[in-house]
Every structure is written in structure tokens, then in C-alpha cells.
């Protein structure tokens, strides 16, 4: 029996290694921006969904396809959770495993949340972590068999808001200062937004996400600054958007606002609105037509780079 248990443990260990290649901290020790030691500890809740809150050490979990199936494309995944917690499995590791199995390197971002006492300037911190993740993946592109010009960002719900912010507010890196990661560009090459929070200034906003990110009472200038539909320019990368018409939490108009801004600025975009699916349908399993969004997304990605995988 003891030998059998040891064998089972060994098999489980191999499975875990195959599922997730490595976990990498975003920042060198002692160099975390917008951080102050508070004594808080990260919390985890594994009920039907594995949730993470009060993130103290931002990091990425890297899922790599085999070299034979790798397309060279990578996507950084931002789980949602209203900027109060992260739906880490449902909107993070589940999508990562799917995309890695299709030849796309998938990197799950465990970003810091603005409701933590360890955060100094609440509204800046999630974006800092997302930008650092893009730079980190680009800096490791050769090591992870990724093309540095094929690194996208994906987000669900409030994670979609974070991804849309990264898509509209980026820089080319600072070659004069910082470590080798900081010198990389923070511009994503494409975006995938799944039932995203977009606006923080119009009636169709998600109030919980806005209040968690900006605090209360909210500053009008900040609500405009973080309304992603107002930040789209001709430099914004191409974006794929998915939403359900019956979404009662984050109305479909959020995606429509962003898509319209893309069109008005001459940026390539694709929007799919499904009649049913509600909010938080994740990969769409059991949600009828919404279950097909991943196939549509893969076709769109292939079209970007004329991939054959």
C-alpha cells in the first residue's frame, strides 16, 4: 500500500509539472513598486472556484506548449473578480491550460489588488503589475520559445478592464534605467477581452470594480482616465471582444463602447455578442453559443499571424 501511495504521489507530481512549467515573481526581492509592508497575508478560497485575494507577491504562472506544437504566440491572462479578488482557476489556469494545449504559451498573472493595505497608490498598482508581466514575458521570449512581437494580453471582467488599460496605456521601455526587464516594451501585440469592464464614467459601468479600483468617493478625473474607451488611439493593438447580451453585471455596452472606439481610430477589432451566457461564463462550458468563443478567438489569432497550427 505504501509503495502504491508513493507511485500515485509521483504521478501527481509529474502531472503538476506538465500542467504548469514554472512560477516567476514579477519583481526582484525588495523592488516591488507601490508597496509597503502591512502584515497582510494572501488569502485563498477553494470552493467551486479557486479565489485569491490580498495578493502580496505578484507573479506569473507559465504554461508552455511543447516545442512541436508551439506557434510562437503568447497571451498573458488577467483573471477577474471586481478588483476585490481573483477568480484564479475559472478565469486564469483553466484558460491557460486550454490555450497552451493549442500551441499558445499562456501566462496567468496574479496581480495585486487595490483593496490591500500593502498598496500605496491603489489605482496604479494593477496596471504596474500587468505592464511588468508583459515586459517579463518579452524578456524571456527566447527562453520560452515565444516570438517577442506576438505577446498579447487577455482579461475577464475586471481583469478585462486591466487588460484594456494595458492595451491603451503603455510605453516602449526605459533603456536608461531599471533592470533588463524594465527596458522591454510594455505594449501588447494584441488583446482578448472577455465580458470586460470598460467604462468607469458612463451609466453602464460596474460600480464594484470602479469603487475597488479608485476608492470612494471617486475622483472625476480618474474615472475618465480609467474609462478605457476614452483612451483608445491609433497605436492601440488589435482586439478581440466577447460578451453576452444577457449580462446583468457588466452590460454588453462596455464591449460595444470599446469596439466603437477601435473602429473610430482605425484599429482592427472583432466583437462577438452571444444572446445568452450571463456574466462570468469563463470558457463558456455549458453556456450554449457562448461555448464557441474560444474557437472564434483561436481563428482570430491565426488570422493575425497566418498561423497554420
Q: How confident is the model at residue 14 (pLDDT cuts 50, 70, 90)?
A: very low
Taking only the tens place, the pLDDT of each residue in 146-186 is 999 999 999 999 999 999 999 999 986 665 566 889 999 99
**Residue 204 confidence (pLDDT):** 98
Query: Which has the closest alpha carbon to 279: 90, 121, 135, 107?
Result: 90
Average pLDDT over residues 73-98: 97
* Structure-block grid coordinates of residue 224: 475618465
> 140 lies in a domain?
yes
Decide if 199 contacts 153 (C-beta within 8 A): no
- Whether residue 2 lies inside any domain: the answer is no
Q: Alpha-carbon distance 136 to 27, whole Å?
A: 9
The three grid cell numbers given for residue 239, joined into one nine-digit string: 482586439
Q: For the chain, give the mean pLDDT.
A: 91
The rounded distance, in Å, linking the Cα atoms of 173 and 170 is 9
What pLDDT score was predicted for residue 15? 38
Helix (H, G, I), strand (E, B) or coil at 211: helix
For the chain, how far is it from start to end, CA to CA, in angstroms?
44
Averaged pLDDT for residues 75-92: 97
Residue 309 has pLDDT above 70, yes or no: no
| 55/72 Cα distance (integer angstroms) | 30
Predicted confidence at residue 29, as pLDDT, reads: 79
Find out whether 120 and 40 touch, Cβ atoms under 8 Å: no
Higher pLDDT, 309 or 253: 253
Q: Is residue 15 domain-resident? A: no
Chain position carrying cell 458612463: 202
Return the top range by mean pLDDT from 3-7, 37-41, 235-239.
235-239
Using the predicted structure, report yes or no on whether residue 16 has a pLDDT greater than 50.
Answer: no
CA proximity to 198, closest of 234, 233, 167: 167
167 part of a folded domain? yes
In a domain, 8, yes or no: no
Question: pLDDT tens, 89-146?
Answer: 999 999 999 999 999 999 999 999 999 999 999 999 999 999 999 999 999 999 999 9
Q: Which domain holds residue 133?
A: 20-305
Residue 117: its pLDDT value, please? 95
Angle made by CA atoms 149, 153, 155, in degrees to the nearest 5: 170
Parallel, antiparallel or unpaired: strands 239-244 and 269-274: parallel
Does position 4 have pLDDT exceeding 60, yes or no?
no
What is the per-residue pLDDT for 286?
80
Structurally, the chain folds into a number of domains equal to 1
CATH code where residue 138 lies: 3.40.50.1820
pLDDT at 171: 83
237 secondary structure, DSSP code: P
Is there a domain that residue 12 lies in?
no
- Alpha carbon separation from 86 to 37, 43, 185 (Å, rounded): 21, 10, 26
Q: Which residues pair with 61 in a beta bridge?
A: 23, 108
Render pLDDT for 269-279 as a digit per residue (tens, 0 to 9). 999 999 999 99
**Is residue 42 over pLDDT 70?**
yes
58-74 mean pLDDT: 96
196 band by pLDDT with thresholds 50, 70 and 90: very high
Q: Indicate if the pLDDT at residue 8 is higher than 60.
A: no
Please state the φ and ψ torsions of residue 25, each to the nearest 5 degrees. -65, 145
Distance CA 275, CA 204 (A): 18
Does residue 14 sit within a domain? no
Alpha helices by DSSP H, 229-289: 253-264
Residue 7 lies in a domain: no
Amino acid at each position: 500500500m505504501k509503495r502504491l501511495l508513493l507511485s500515485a504521489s509521483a504521478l501527481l507530481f509529474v502531472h503538476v509539472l506538465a500542467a504548469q512549467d514554472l512560477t516567476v515573481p514579477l519583481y526582484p526581492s525588495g523592488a516591488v513598486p507601490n508597496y509597503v509592508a502591512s502584515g497582510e497575508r494572501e488569502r485563498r478560497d477553494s470552493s467551486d472556484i479557486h479565489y485569491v485575494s490580498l495578493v502580496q507577491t505578484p507573479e506569473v504562472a507559465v504554461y508552455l506548449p511543447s516545442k512541436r506544437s508551439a506557434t510562437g504566440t503568447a497571451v498573458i491572462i488577467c483573471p477577474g473578480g471586481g478588483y476585490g479578488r481573483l477568480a484564479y482557476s475559472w478565469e486564469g489556469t483553466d484558460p491557460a491550460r486550454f490555450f497552451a494545449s493549442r500551441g499558445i504559451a499562456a501566462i496567468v498573472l496574479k496581480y495585486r489588488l487595490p483593496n490591500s493595505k500593502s498598496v500605496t497608490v491603489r489605482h496604479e498598482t494593477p496596471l504596474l503589475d500587468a505592464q511588468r508581466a508583459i515586459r517579463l514575458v518579452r524578456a524571456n521570449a527566447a527562453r520560452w520559445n515565444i516570438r517577442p512581437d506576438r505577446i498579447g494580453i487577455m482579461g475577464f471582467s475586471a481583469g478585462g478592464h486591466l487588460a484594456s488599460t494595458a492595451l491603451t496605456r503603455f510605453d516602449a521601455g526605459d533603456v536608461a534605467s531599471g533592470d533588463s526587464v524594465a527596458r522591454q516594451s510594455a505594449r501588447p501585440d494584441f488583446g482578448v477581452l472577455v465580458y470586460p469592464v470598460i467604462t468607469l464614467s458612463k451609466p453602464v459601468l460596474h460600480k464594484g470594480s470602479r469603487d475597488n479600483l479608485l476608492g470612494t468617493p471617486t475622483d472625476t478625473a480618474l474615472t475618465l482616465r480609467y474609462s478605457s474607451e476614452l483612451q483608445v488611439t491609433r497605436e492601440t493593438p488589435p482586439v478581440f471582444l466577447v460578451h453576452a447580451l444577457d449580462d446583468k453585471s457588466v452590460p454588453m455596452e462596455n464591449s460595444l463602447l470599446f469596439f466603437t472606439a477601435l473602429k473610430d481610430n482605425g484599429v482592427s477589432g472583432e466583437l462577438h455578442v452571444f444572446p445568452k451566457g450571463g456574466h462570468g461564463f469563463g470558457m463558456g462550458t455549458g453556456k450554449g453559443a457562448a461555448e464557441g468563443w474560444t474557437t472564434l478567438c483561436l481563428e482570430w489569432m491565426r488570422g493575425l499571424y497566418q498561423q497554420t497550427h
